[in-house]
Chains A and B, each alone.
Chain A
Amino acid sequence: MEMRSTPILQVDNLHKYFPIPRHVGDVLARRPRRSVRAVDGVSFTVQRGEILALVGESGSGKTTVGMNVLGLQQPTEGHILFDGYDVTEWSRGHGASLEAADRFLVPLSRRRRVMTLRERAQMIFQDPYESLNPRQTIFDIVAEPLDIHRLTPSRTERRERVRTALETCGLAPADHFWDRFPAELSGGQRQRVVIAGALVLEPELLVADEPVSMLDVSIRAEILNLLRALRRERGITILYTTHDLATAGFFTDRMAVMYLGRIVELGPTVEVLSQPRHPYTRALISVVPVPNPRRRRQRVILEGEIPNPIDIPPGCRFHPRCPEAIPACREMDPRLHPVAPGHDVACLRV
């Protein structure tokens, strides 16, 4: 891995707040505006060809990070650099989000730059039952990215590219599948179609948002192997989002553990799993089932639920559930700091 070249993705201090609509009563009572702090200051870097796992419980803000990386939402604060270009800068200060760029409301030059991002970075969505248009054939679904980016001059070439994409994703022979509708395929097959639709543009970055969480356990390994093969054979960079430590450990290089919109620990996957430093990471790892019963570990059962991202606790946001909290944790909001080379933790006690 060349560490010296420009990272393909740099996320710098990303914040994404969703304002909560106020009722008349709130306005009259002069209650302050509140918002859901889905992502609350996240920074990380992904090198070319790397697979980074973003791990966290439901509601920790993983999908929101992915959507902002792809410009599907406008960050409240912070920057996202794709291949060194500030994607957020295209929209900020011009009164138009990237979303608006989809709608012809911005000058052509900016739209063209947005389209470059749309071509070079692709997203795989969580739910394969929802991410395919039920009224399009598999062929049309996989060919649509080519049409949008006007990438194929001839019909034969178009067919061949769709065929290659489908067969790369294990849907061979392609002719057997491409006249069908999504409803005629199984969940695993659909997720392969989704991946084929992303691959047909030969992207450099793939944001895979819990690509296997809706699939049967037996199919998960196949899909993850496919992603791993894509990195090996094409050098595709993957941002892999999951709430499942086991699948993250299976094929990722580095791991970022998220809690309530923040990264609490970031480091090489093997190191984070074998020597977790943050109490939250340790709690997560302790409840992953271990195949060997004699190696049973001490389980850390966290008390309470993950708090609501509207009312984030003061100080360290994890302290109300933390088994190792000290009084200072209630006041000090810990920053992410290095504890070993390439291994950062946000905890006052380490």
Chain B
Amino acid sequence: MNAVKQFVRNPMGVVGAGMLLVVILIALLAPWLAPYDPQVRVQVTPDDILAPPDAEHLLGRDDAGKDVLSQLIYGARVSLIVGFTASFMSMFIGTTVGLVAGFYGGRVGNWLMRLVDFLMVIPDLPLMLVIIAVTGRGLTNIILVIGLLGWTYTARLVRSQVLSVKERQFVLRARSLGASAPRIILRHIFPQVVPLVIAQAVLDISVAILAESSLAFLGLGDPTLISWGMMLNFAFERAISRQAWWFLLPPGLAIVWVSLSLILIGNTLDQIVNPRLRTHHLFDARRMVALAVGVPPLAKADGAGE
């Protein structure tokens, strides 16, 4: 209850939630909202190719003469599906690894964390490119690759939290009662890390969406589906030379829109569950003004006193 209140009171979070809600509604209502079916081949005349916006095609047409707005609307589905499923996978794996590594420690924990370090050091995108190039470009593969490579940060976060929670007295009490390890982990430790995990998962959704867009932009998207990244890919290859901004701009802005919404929500949740972030200098309104003006906050006060 308290967390909900805090969230609602934060304008950043509310704006982010509103922005995300719009995208979710668009994705759900795509068949009704989209003026055309983007998957259907259309008969085109040379004039239709990359035609600029007009009354019938609000965002113009692409290089095959198809409606850009309809593609944009359907593209929201791919982004959200990839984002939510991949981040759910990362959340699940990362939480499990973090709980086990943090609770048991010792040799098992050390090896798990070494694996985490190893995965963290490898740059994600090149690795994803290689794997997708080898395994094929289906949507499932894309989700799996993003999900299976994206859990490391969550694992670290959960592990460090578990290390402190497991020393708390109520865990000691559970142990003195004879509670088994699974019981201690699930009943006493897991509930304390849930809020943190959720905040991180929201941020992970945007990371996953960006990863899918990057893959698609580099030509490794699912060829049977239209996604924003793929639209950008086509636009870059074929539309830039013709200055067809109506094909390039909308998918780019859509990606920014949805990532921004998730980052706003995620940061707000993070501020609520992880009080240390509240003192971050970017969230301190006073200092932000000072930064913008370029005057240290105390200098002004001194000047006034003289």
Name A residues whose Cβ lies closer than 8 Å to a Cβ of B.
Answer: 70, 72, 99, 102-104, 114-115, 118-119, 122-123, 125-127, 130-136, 144-145, 148-149, 194, 197, 201
- A123 and B184 alpha carbons, distance in the complex (Å): 17
- A197 and B174 alpha carbons, distance in the complex (Å): 11
Whether, in the assembled complex, B114 has its beta carbon less than 8 Å from a beta carbon of chain A, the answer is no
- A93 and B191 alpha carbons, distance in the complex (Å): 36
Whether, in the assembled complex, B287 has its beta carbon less than 8 Å from a beta carbon of chain A, the answer is no
**Of B181, B187, B191, which contacts A104 at CB under 8 A?**
B181
CB distance from B174 to the nearest CB of A (A): 7
- A237 and B187 alpha carbons, distance in the complex (Å): 30
> Are A130 and B170 in touch, CB under 8 angstroms?
yes
CB distance from B102 to the nearest CB of A (A): 14
New A-B contacts (5) at CB < 8 Å, excluding given A99-B175, A130-B168, A131-B170 = A102-B180, A118-B176, A131-B172, A131-B173, A134-B170
> Are A125 and B169 in touch, CB under 8 angstroms?
yes
Do A70 and B176 contact each other (CB < 8 Å), given the known contacts A102-B181, A132-B170, A133-B170? yes
> Are B187 and A114 in touch, CB under 8 angstroms?
no
In the bound complex, residues from chain B placing their C-beta under 8 Å from that of A99 are 175
**Of B168, B169, B170, B175, which contacts A102 at CB under 8 A?**
B175
> Are B178 and A115 in touch, CB under 8 angstroms?
yes
In the bound complex, residues from chain B placing their C-beta under 8 Å from that of A135 are 191-192
Nearest A residue to B194 via CB reads A135
Whether, in the assembled complex, B298 has its beta carbon less than 8 Å from a beta carbon of chain A, the answer is no
CB distance from A139 to the nearest CB of B (A): 14
Nearest 7 A-B pairs (CB), nearest first? A118-B178, A130-B169, A135-B191, A131-B169, A133-B170, A103-B181, A123-B176
- A114 and B180 alpha carbons, distance in the complex (Å): 12
Residue among A104, A145, A149, A201 having the largest count of chain B Cβ atoms under 10 Å: A145
User: Which of under 10, 10 to 19, 20 to 34, or 35 or more describes the interface residues of B?
Assistant: 20 to 34
CB distance from A207 to the nearest CB of B (A): 9
Whether, in the assembled complex, B179 has its beta carbon less than 8 Å from a beta carbon of chain A, the answer is yes
In the bound complex, residues from chain A placing their C-beta under 8 Å from that of B180 are 102, 104, 148
Within 8 A of A (CB), among B180-232: 180-181, 183-184, 187-188, 191-192
- A308 and B137 alpha carbons, distance in the complex (Å): 65
Whether, in the assembled complex, B292 has its beta carbon less than 8 Å from a beta carbon of chain A, the answer is no
> Are B179 and A148 in touch, CB under 8 angstroms?
yes
In the bound complex, residues from chain A placing their C-beta under 8 Å from that of B178 are 102, 114-115, 118-119, 148-149
In the bound complex, residues from chain A placing their C-beta under 8 Å from that of B168 are 130
CB distance from A150 to the nearest CB of B (A): 11
> Are B181 and A133 in touch, CB under 8 angstroms?
no
- A118 and B176 alpha carbons, distance in the complex (Å): 6
- A135 and B172 alpha carbons, distance in the complex (Å): 16
CB distance from A236 to the nearest CB of B (A): 16
Please classify the interface of chain B as helix (H, G, I), strand (E, B), loop, or mixed, using the class held by over half of its residues. Answer: helix
> Are A144 and B192 in touch, CB under 8 angstroms?
no
In the bound complex, residues from chain A placing their C-beta under 8 Å from that of B179 are 102, 144, 148
> Are B169 and A118 in touch, CB under 8 angstroms?
no
User: What sequence of 0s and 1s flags, for each residue 90-127 of chain B, a beta carbon within 8 Å of any chain A beta carbon?
Assistant: 00000000000000100000000000000000000000
CB distance from B168 to the nearest CB of A (A): 6
Do A133 and B188 contact each other (CB < 8 Å), given the known contacts A114-B178, A123-B176, A148-B177? yes
> Are A125 and B173 in touch, CB under 8 angstroms?
yes
In the bound complex, residues from chain B placing their C-beta under 8 Å from that of A136 are 187
Nearest B residue to A183 via CB reads B2
> Are A144 and B174 in touch, CB under 8 angstroms?
yes
In the bound complex, residues from chain A placing their C-beta under 8 Å from that of B191 are 133, 135
CB distance from A56 to the nearest CB of B (A): 20
> Are A118 and B177 in touch, CB under 8 angstroms?
yes
Do A144 and B172 contact each other (CB < 8 Å), given the known contacts A133-B188, A133-B191, A135-B191? no
- A133 and B190 alpha carbons, distance in the complex (Å): 11
CB distance from B197 to the nearest CB of A (A): 14
- A103 and B105 alpha carbons, distance in the complex (Å): 12
- A127 and B172 alpha carbons, distance in the complex (Å): 12
**Of A104, A134, A144, which contacts B177 at CB under 8 A?**
A144
Residue among B168, B169, B177, B183 having the largest count of chain A Cβ atoms under 10 Å: B177
- A324 and B98 alpha carbons, distance in the complex (Å): 56
> Are B187 and A125 in touch, CB under 8 angstroms?
no
CB distance from A48 to the nearest CB of B (A): 21
- A134 and B184 alpha carbons, distance in the complex (Å): 14
- A51 and B191 alpha carbons, distance in the complex (Å): 37
CB distance from A119 to the nearest CB of B (A): 7
Within 8 A of A (CB), among B141-184: 168-170, 172-181, 183-184
In the bound complex, residues from chain A placing their C-beta under 8 Å from that of B172 are 72, 125, 131
In the bound complex, residues from chain A placing their C-beta under 8 Å from that of B192 are 134-135
In the bound complex, residues from chain A placing their C-beta under 8 Å from that of B175 are 72, 99, 102
Nearest B residue to A127 via CB reads B169
> Are A148 and B187 in touch, CB under 8 angstroms?
no
In the bound complex, residues from chain A placing their C-beta under 8 Å from that of B188 are 133
- A149 and B180 alpha carbons, distance in the complex (Å): 11
